[in-house]
Amino acid sequence: MLGWQTDSPCVPARDGPTECPVADPQWRATIPPSHGLFGLPKPKVGKLEPATTPLRAAVTVVANLPIFAEAARHAGYFNAFLDADGVVRTAPLVMAVAGKLHPSLALAMAQVVVEALSAAEATAYAAAHQAYVDGAFAAAVAAFEARAATSPHKIYPLMAERSRLLASRPQAPGWSGAWTMVSK
């Protein structure tokens, strides 16, 4: 996780191209290529117009050393934006840099946590599901119920019930795991 900042924040829609030359090729050329690694995916709707966006933007960035930037998986900006009276009242989650949206350091850190939780969740489900696939239904019930107690995902109680049902009605060896309705 890396942090970066800008010494030239602006709002293109408010400040105009003279005060906020984010679309100027001369200024865009100053952004290190490694900085583009940390941009968020393009929005699914609409288009980011650097010269007219109402979002905070950076004309230049104070970037990390290339060796660190190339090794990092996440980065975010940590600028504080003062209101006219010198008080910080807002903290934007994204900033536009060279035509891409970049997360704040707080949002980038949240991304890391979500990815870690997602990986842990996938690992826990895979272990419980393997017991189910192996026909160890009592172990599967225990594993799915343990996850159901701590996870908001509805798959765990469903799979625990399914495992309980299979444990109470053992199937013939070689059963594929699928039931076929033969009558209504």
- Angular region, 16: left φ>0, alpha ψ -120 to 50, beta rest: left
**Whole-angstrom Cα distance, residue 22 to residue 60?**
8
Q: State if pTM tops 0.75.
A: no
Instruction: Look up residue 33 and give its DSSP letter.
Output: G
b/e map of 92-123 (b: 16 or more CB within 10 Å)? eebbbbbbbbbbbbebbeebeeeeeeeeeeee
- What pLDDT digit, counting tens, does each position of 42-92 carry? 777 678 888 999 999 999 999 888 888 888 889 999 999 888 899 988 889
- Which residue, chain included where needed, has tokens 């997602």? 118
- What pLDDT digit, counting tens, does each position of 121-145 carry? 888 888 888 888 888 899 999 999 9
Q: Determine contact, residues 47/55, Cβ cutoff 8 Å.
A: no
**Does residue 6 or residue 170 have the better pLDDT?**
6
**Whole-angstrom Cα distance, residue 156 to residue 135?**
17
Query: Is residue 119 predicted with pLDDT exceeding 90?
Result: no
- What pLDDT digit, counting tens, does each position of 58-71 carry? 999 998 888 888 88
- Which residue, chain included where needed, has tokens 């299979």? 166
Query: Is residue 35 predicted with pLDDT exceeding 90?
Result: no
Query: Is residue 111 predicted with pLDDT exceeding 80?
Result: yes
Query: Is residue 151 predicted with pLDDT exceeding 90?
Result: no
CA 86: distance to chain centroid? Answer: 32
Query: Is residue 31 predicted with pLDDT exceeding 80?
Result: yes
pLDDT of residue 184: 57
pLDDT of residue 179: 59
- Which residue, chain included where needed, has tokens 């891409």? 100
Q: Determine contact, residues 49/81, Cβ cutoff 8 Å.
A: no
**Whole-angstrom Cα distance, residue 107 to residue 155?**
28
